[in-house]
Amino acid sequence: MTAVLSETRTLTYAEAVREALGQAMEADDRVFLLGEDVGVYGGAFGVTGDLVHRFGEERIRDTPISELGIVGAAVGAALAGMRPVVEIQFSDFTAQAMDQIVNQAAKIHFMLGGAATVPMVLRAPSGSGTGAAAQHSQSLEAWFAHVPGLKVVMPATPADAKALLLAAIDDPNPVIVLEHKLLYKQSGPVPEDATPARLGEAAVRRTGTDVTIVATGVMVSRSLEAADRLAQLGIQASVVDPRTLKPLDSKTIVDSVIGTGRALLVQEAPKTAGFMAEIAATIGESTAFGYLRAPIARLCGLDVPIPYAPQLERAVVPQVDDIVREAEELVRKW
């Protein structure tokens, strides 16, 4: 007999997110969306699309321009038994809602001794590359990863955009889902009957023997492109995508570094106090330390606000050429 395989289509990242939202809303009447322009307009980046026509304005709720109020309403709804999914137009605007995110959503379960949960998802477009300048282009994952009680997800592929969002909606805890703006139009295979992923499981996107590149968000695809070019130089790179920062799958990262003896950690966010510093510490405190043949290297954005000018915007965050250069130097020098 021939095995029947799940049909896999090619979807854009944005389509995969929208499909996950629709699937979750069909499966559970408690799931609803709220945010600025998520209804008829379809979302700032077109992600929510026609969901308002499918589910109506009661479940696709356009809100006033008040991030603090939006997240506060979602926290209250979650405490009352609903499963709200918040869309913040730009991740930068979470700064307006940090009291509700950090002091309420993240802490209520603990402060009430486990008697209440906050099953809230907050989706936010992050990162640079669209010419949106300093107040609309930041990578703030380290803010949220630092807060006990929050889970943090950074899908890098359309398939993960769907599977990880479904997992986030199913989770009884508040989950921050950071979607890189440059990924929305990228296409990839997405199984039609995709099931929720397990939060806390990294993905090894490519295996190699000379260096492990750990990358998040849009840097995953750039690292894979860099790995292809490194292979032409005789350097075989592994590429590990953590997928979730909290909980972090440290074992997969450590095992890869043990196998290669070198680690290049790539993020778009500025270097100082960025999440890759946490991964560097994780490697340094693990059994991988004894296998290192070179110092742990970090390739990060510069410690500057994101410029508006396109050439400057590209210059302050790692590009494929930068990853190739740093990885080659790490291998050749050590």
Given a cut of 60, whether residue 4 has pLDDT beyond it is: no
Catalytic site includes residue 313: no
Q: Which domains does the chain have, with CATH numbers?
A: 9-191 (3.40.50.970), 203-333 (3.40.50.920)
Is the pLDDT higher at 7 or at 233? 233
Measured torsion, CA atoms of residues 294, 320, 216, 234, in degrees rounded to the nearest 10: -40
pLDDT tens readout for residues 215-232 = 999 999 999 999 999 999
Residue 5 has what pLDDT? 46
Distance CA 195, CA 27 (A): 12
The DSSP result for 310-332, as a single string, is HHHHHHTS--HHHHHHHHHHHHH
Considering the candidates 19, 36, 109, 136, report the single residue annotated as catalytic.
Answer: 136
Nearest-5° Cα angle at 323, 319 to 329: 145
- Other beta carbons less than 10 A from residue 103's beta carbon: 12
pTM: 0.95
What's the pLDDT band for 3 if we cut at 50, 70, 90? very low
What's the pLDDT band for 7 if we cut at 50, 70, 90? confident
Q: Which long-range contacts (CB under 8 A, 24 or more apart) does 66-69 make?
A: 66/96, 67/93, 67/94, 67/96, 67/97, 68/96, 68/97, 68/99, 68/100
pLDDT tens readout for residues 144-182 = 999 999 999 999 999 999 999 999 999 999 999 999 999
pLDDT tens readout for residues 110-153 = 999 999 999 999 999 999 999 999 999 999 999 999 999 999 99
Angstrom CA distances, 271 to 100, 156, 260, stand at: 27, 20, 23
Considering the candidates 15, 36, 67, 278, report the single residue annotated as catalytic.
Answer: 67
Where does residue 292 fall: left (phi above 0), alpha (psi -120 to 50 degrees), or beta otherwise?
A: beta
Catalytic site includes residue 136: yes
Distance CA 307, CA 111 (A): 41
